[in-house]
Amino acid sequence: MGVLIVDDEPLARARLARQLQSIDGCQLLGEAADGESALQQLDSLDPDLLLLDIEMPGENGLQLATQITNRPNPPAIIFCTAHDEFALPAFAVAPSGYLLKPVSLEQLAQAIAQARRLSKPQLLQTRSDDSQSIRGRRQIKAVSRRGVQLLNVDDIRCFIAEDKYVIAHHSGGETVLDESLKELEAEFGERFVRVHRSAIVAREFITGLKKSGDGYGVTLSGCAQVPPVSRRLLAGVKSLLTEMA
């Protein structure tokens, strides 16, 4: 994975360059101290990934990222910044990660591992897939003070609404999302089924029904969570299990 570091601070660039040496499958292609230089090297080096600062002289990282993402076959972008207040604006530009300085090797390695899933060949495949709009996103982004986490929809077992939030239960644990259950159901209705007013579950992971108090819950492979099934929807869930048998 070819990497271009864009940061106006030489020490910050040097730190990231040292860390990249410890991450398998990464090659440092070049460094840039401002947006103009970054765009020039982008054309000549054709990197797969940018490690991009936000506050720089001249054009800032958000403006640069907007230009880059509007290009055909853009590289993945991981923002590396000392300011957490840019998380939401950065999220709007669709970065592959958002890390706060000083960036640790563990954080960088994890963000790069996530960014690999958004490499340019994969983006090309996504754009050429005419059914993508039907299936919805392949990944969901969750923004927190720790950065941006990308969740593969294929790994999500269920979405559970709790208070004002929705929790995605997936192969790696649990993640809080800032999206409504209604929106998620509308987007992923072909892959997830409503079992309760507070829960939708992935059809492919359903393994059965489990008696729970006066009602039932859905058992899911690879997930300890047992979402409740409402009485109104129980017949539909039983019918689905019959079809899957």
Model confidence pLDDT, tens digit, residues 71-88: 777 888 999 988 777 766
CATH number at residue 166: 2.40.50.1020
Same domain, 117 and 200: no
Is 111 in contact with 147 (CB distance < 8 Å)? Answer: yes
Locate 200 and state its tokens: 């939708």
| 63 CB-near residues (< 8 Å, 6+ apart) | 35
pTM: 0.51
**What's the total number of domains in the chain?**
2
- Whether 4 has a pLDDT exceeding 90, the answer reads yes
Give pLDDT, residue 137.
80
Distance CA 117, CA 206 (A): 26
Establish if 132 belongs to a structural domain. Answer: no
Instruction: State percent of the chain over pLDDT 70.
Output: 86
Has residue 131 been placed in a domain? no
% the chain with pLDDT above 90: 42
Long-range contacts of 187-192 (CB under 8 A, 24+ apart): 187/136, 187/137, 188/135, 188/136, 188/153, 190/134, 190/135, 191/135, 191/136, 191/153, 192/158, 192/159
* Mean pLDDT score across all residues of the chain: 85
Average pLDDT over residues 12-37: 94
pLDDT value at position 210?
A: 92
Q: In Å, how far from its chain's centre is CA 196?
A: 26
Residues 36 and 121 in one domain: yes
My answer on whether 184 and 155 are in the same domain is yes
Domain assignment of residue 67, given as a range: 2-126
pLDDT tens digits, 129-143: 434 444 568 888 887
User: How far is the C-alpha of 208 from the C-alpha of 227, rounded, in Å?
Assistant: 11
Tokens of 218: 């859905």
Write down the pLDDT at residue 108: 93
Asked if residue 177 and residue 119 are part of one domain, the reply reads: no
Q: pLDDT digit string (tens) for 145-179? A: 666 778 889 999 999 998 888 999 998 889 999 88
Q: Distance between CA 170 and CA 88 in Å, rounded?
A: 24
pLDDT of residue 87: 66
| Bond from prior residue into 228 cis (ω within 30 degrees of 0) | no
> Do 35 and 59 belong to one domain?
yes
Of 102, 126, 150, at which residue does a domain stop? Answer: 126
Q: Kindly report the CATH number assigned to the domain that includes residue 84.
A: 3.40.50.2300
Is residue 41 scored above 60 in pLDDT? yes
Q: Are residues 154 and 77 in the same domain?
A: no
Is 170 found in the same domain as 112?
no
